[in-house]
Structure 1
Amino acid sequence: MSKLKILVKLTLIYFAVLNPSTAMTFDRDYLYNFIENYVESNISIPAEGKIKIEVSPIDPRISLQPCLLPLLANIPEKHNSRNVNVKVLCPDEASWQLFIPVKIQTIVPILVTRMRVAKGTLLDNSNIEVIFKDNSQIRGSVLTDPAIVTGARTKRNLSQGSAITDRNTCFVCKGQPVNIIARSVNFEIKSFGIALKDGSLGELIPIKNKESGRIVQGQVNAINQVVINL
């Protein structure tokens, strides 16, 4: 520790002894807000997601002592992402510390059905909506953008509140007309075909070209559209 830091620290302690009122005092509400703000600033939040923070009550038998210096906080490197013990430290000479359990709930936007939807139904704003759900309750890859999903079809019956996923929807459905875009750096050719298999975004599926009768492999990149990169 540098001589300047030692001098500053001793000066603070000296004035605190002469005038104890210079020490900062804290009530429980202050500590709860302090911990919540610290966790919010130091926990990764998924894109477009939110977090809910629940600070456990401090044992009423604990007497909160004053502190000469601003409080510090720390989250252990190894911790359950849903539950952490936040360490609150008073760094003055009469140092004290508390470990406060905090529950963290990460909620993210997902697309779900507004109602019961039958197999083969076209999806749009009338039967899908965005809700926020606990990330720990989500299984697999879910879809979040209504604009991208509008026009896709359901591959099975879905109950109200079902998450819209790659597995239960097809952006290109077997037997349906498909726009084919074959492109390279210098040109682009458009044609039409029939899908020989259901496909979700990014999936490679076989398409039968209507004009030539040839079967080609195209990557689904939009509703009823595939791309062939030459």
Structure 2
Amino acid sequence: MSKIKIFIPFLSLVTLMSISVHSMTFDRSYIENFAKKYVEKHITAPPNGKMEVIVSAIDPRIQIKPCESPLQANIPENHNSRNVNIKISCVDSKSWYIYLPVKIINTIAVVVAKENISKGSLLDNSNLELAYHQQKKIRGEWQDNTDNLIGGKAKRSISKGTLITKRNICMVCKGDSVTIIARSDDFSIKTSGIALKDGNIGEQIRVKNKRSGKTISARISAINQVIIDL
């Protein structure tokens, strides 16, 4: 009987030691980095863009208890694209969890003025470049390819670093000589004209036919070129 009494406390001690050995202690920096990597893996950056994940520091007053199993993370389904509260959980016999606020900053490559551009200046690789800007701060119809803008003109003075949008450039500008292409499924003819309004690719503008003197509406298809579909 005495041996049984000795064995039971011994067995309990072994069990407690086993639990203690398999429990893991996570410091704050580990948990914050764990949350950061989880977000980076499960939330994608915008096309042709980059994503920066900033995890809020864990309140030093919070005591992080040991955990018998690896940590788990969960992102709410109704999170927005800029902020998310990620849930970090310990699922064991004495489970616990904490919420960490995470800020997500998405940046995309957009065309900006490489230098100060004066009104009427032609756009080329010397005065245009790509730069990363926060997506939420971008206004207007931004551009993401400098090649599509080569040959256009500045409608007004553009400061260095300013986003290039349809508001500050024109691919065909008022007073420019343009080629007018009238086309159908069977034929096409070309003539010359004068643009009576600023415009960009795909927009309709008024154009004066140099030969007939008539004013027509045509769609800009390229630099100094407009099309009329018959």
TM-score (norm 1): 0.82
**Separation (CA, whole Å) in 2 of partners of 1:153 and 1:16:** 77
Query: Alpha carbons of 1:225 and 1:66: their partners in 2 closer, same or farther (altered >3 Å)?
Result: farther
> What is the match of residue 34 of structure 1?
34
| Structure 1 residues 148-187: aligned runs within 5 Å | 148-185=148-185, 187=187
| Structure 1 residues 64-79: aligned runs within 5 Å | 64-79=64-79
Q: In the alignment, residue 209 of structure 1 is paired with which amino acid? A: N
Q: What's the CA shift for 1:50?
A: 0.8
Q: Is the contact made by 2:116 and 2:160 (CA closer than 8 Å) also made in structure 1?
A: yes
Q: Is the contact made by 1:111 and 1:163 (CA closer than 8 Å) also made in structure 2?
A: yes
> What is the match of residue 201 of structure 2?
201
Q: In the alignment, residue 168 of structure 2 is paired with which amino acid? A: N
> What is the match of residue 118 of structure 2?
118
Q: What's the CA shift for 1:60?
A: 2.3
Q: Secondary structure at the match of 1:100?
A: strand
Query: Alpha carbons of 1:225 and 1:94: their partners in 2 closer, same or farther (altered >3 Å)?
Result: farther
> What is the match of residue 218 of structure 1?
218
Query: Alpha carbons of 1:36 and 1:222: their partners in 2 closer, same or farther (altered >3 Å)?
Result: farther
> What is the match of residue 20 of structure 1?
20
> What is the match of residue 88 of structure 1?
88
Query: Alpha carbons of 1:31 and 1:179: their partners in 2 closer, same or farther (altered >3 Å)?
Result: farther
TM-score (norm 2): 0.82
Q: Is the contact made by 1:166 and 1:201 (CA closer than 8 Å) also made in structure 2?
A: no
RMSD: 2.4
Q: Is the contact made by 2:180 and 2:190 (CA closer than 8 Å) also made in structure 1?
A: yes
Q: Does residue 136 of structure 2 align to residue 136 of structure 1?
A: yes
**Separation (CA, whole Å) in 1 of partners of 2:16 and 2:179:** 77
Query: Alpha carbons of 1:40 and 1:189: their partners in 2 closer, same or farther (altered >3 Å)?
Result: farther
Q: What's the CA shift for 1:169?
A: 0.4
Provide structure 1 residue ranges, at least 5 long, that are not aligned to the other structure: 1-14
Query: Alpha carbons of 1:22 and 1:225: their partners in 2 closer, same or farther (altered >3 Å)?
Result: farther
> What is the match of residue 12 of structure 1?
none
Alignment length (residue pairs): 216
Q: Is the contact made by 2:207 and 2:217 (CA closer than 8 Å) also made in structure 1?
A: yes
> What is the match of residue 9 of structure 2?
none
**Separation (CA, whole Å) in 2 of partners of 1:39 and 1:29:** 16
Query: Alpha carbons of 1:189 and 1:95: their partners in 2 closer, same or farther (altered >3 Å)?
Result: farther
Instruction: Answer with 1 or 2: which has the greater Rg.
Output: 2
Query: Alpha carbons of 1:174 and 1:56: their partners in 2 closer, same or farther (altered >3 Å)?
Result: same
Q: Does residue 120 of structure 2 align to residue 108 of structure 1?
A: no
> What is the match of residue 6 of structure 1?
none
Query: Alpha carbons of 1:228 and 1:42: their partners in 2 closer, same or farther (altered >3 Å)?
Result: farther
Query: Alpha carbons of 1:189 and 1:27: their partners in 2 closer, same or farther (altered >3 Å)?
Result: farther
User: Per-residue CA shift, 1:151-200, capped at 9, x if unaligned?
Assistant: 11111112222211101100011111123334445554444322111002
Q: Is the contact made by 2:219 and 2:227 (CA closer than 8 Å) also made in structure 1?
A: yes
**Separation (CA, whole Å) in 2 of partners of 1:148 and 1:168:** 15
Q: Secondary structure at the match of 2:157?
A: coil
**Separation (CA, whole Å) in 2 of partners of 1:139 and 1:29:** 37
User: Per-residue CA shift, 1:62-88, capped at 9, x if unaligned?
Assistant: 232333333322223344532222111
Provide structure 2 residue ranges, at least 5 long, that are not aligned to the other structure: 1-14
**Separation (CA, whole Å) in 1 of partners of 2:204 and 2:123:** 22
Q: In the alignment, residue 197 of structure 1 is paired with which amino acid? A: K
> What is the match of residue 62 of structure 1?
62
